[in-house]
Amino acid sequence: MRFGDDRTSSNIEDRRGMGGGGGFRMGGLGIGGLLVVLVLGYLFTGDPLGMFGGSGQVDDGSGFNAPAPASSTGVSPTDPGGTFVGKVLLDTERTWGQLFSAQGRQYTEPKLVLFEESVSSACGMTSSAVGPFYCPRDHQVYIDLSFFRDLDRRFGAPGDFAQAYVIAHEVGHHVQNLLGQFDRAAELRSSGASANAISVRQELQADCYAGVWGHYAAQKGILEPGDVDEGLNAAAAIGDDRIQKQTQGRVSPESFTHGSSADRVKWFRQGFDSGQMSACNTFGR
C-alpha cells in the first residue's frame, strides 16, 4: 500500500503497555470471530464454542451489564505498526464520510484502541485471543497488533493490505451500527432466527463494507499490485470452513459464525467491485 501523505487518524488511542487486567469475557464483533479461541475450542472440546460452554452467540453489545471502560491516558502511536493502523483508519474516515454525506447522512467516526493481552471496553473485559473486535456500546474498534503476526504465520495471510482488510472489516461493523443494522439483527434474533446464521450475515456484510472501502482506496492509488489478492487471501484464510478443516478435520456449517472462505471472498469482492453500500445487503431486504 502507498499512502499519499504521513498523516494518521486522530481517533486512535495507544493503550499498549498499560495492562488490561481482570478476567475474560466475550463481547463485540471481531474479524477472526474469536479466531484463536475457536481453534482452542476445536482442539480441546471438539466444539468451536466449547471454551464458552457452547453458547453459540457473539454478543452484539446489548442486553447485559458490562463494566465501564477503564480510564486511560493512552496516546497516539508513533511506531510503524501503530502508524500504519492510523493511516488506514484515516482513509476509512475519509471514504465513509464522503459516502454518508452523499446520502445526506452524518458519519460519526469510531475510535480505535491499540492494546496488548486484554482490554476493558463497554462490552466487558476482553482477551486478545478473541482477535480484533468492535464494541457497539462505545463505538470503538479494539486491536492487539499481535493478531497481524498470527494472520501471517498461522493462517498464511501476509501483507499490508491483509492487515488493512482487518481494520476495514471492524470499521464495517461501525458502519452497520450507524445504519441501524444491529437493530435489524436484534429483530431477527427476537423472531427466533438462528443466532449463528445472524452472526454470519453480520460478518459477511462487514466483509462487503471492507471491500467498498477497498474500491475507493484503489481509485485513489493507495493500492499496489498484489494488494487485492492479499485481501482476498486473508478473507479466505479465516473462513469458518477453513479453520474447522484445519483444526477438527471436518466442516460443520451449522456452527459457522463468520461464513465460509468462499462466502467471505465473495462478499469482499462484491463490495470491492461495486463500491456501493447497497451491494452489501446480506440481510435480504
pLDDT of residue 32: 52
pLDDT of residue 92: 98
Give the Cα separation of 212 and 126 in Å (integer).
Answer: 29
pLDDT of residue 71: 41
pLDDT of residue 22: 42
Grid cell of 210 as nine digits: 471492507
The residue ranges of the chain whose pLDDT is under 70 are 19-75, 192-193, 241-243, 245-246, 255-256, 285
pLDDT of residue 68: 38
pLDDT of residue 54: 30
pLDDT digits (tens, 9 = 90+) for 25-71: 444 555 554 444 444 333 333 333 333 333 222 344 333 233 334 44
* DSSP assignment string, the chain: ---SSS---SSEEE-TTS---S-----SEESSSSHHHHHHHHHHHSSTTGGGTS------S-SS--PPPPP---B---SHHHHHHHHHHHHHHHHHHHHHHHTT--PPPPEEEE-SSEEEETTEEEEGGG-SEEETTTTEEEE-THHHHHHHHTT---SHHHHHHHHHHHHHHHHHHHHTHHHHHHHHHHTT--HHHHHHHHHHHHHHHHHHHHHHHHHTT---TTHHHHHHHHHHHT-HHHHHHHHHSS--GGG-SS--HHHHHHHHHHHHHH--GGGG-TT--
pLDDT of residue 45: 31
pLDDT of residue 78: 84
pLDDT digits (tens, 9 = 90+) for 169-205: 999 999 999 999 888 888 887 776 678 888 888 999 9
pTM over 0.85, yes/no? no
Domain range list for the chain: 12-280
pLDDT of residue 29: 59
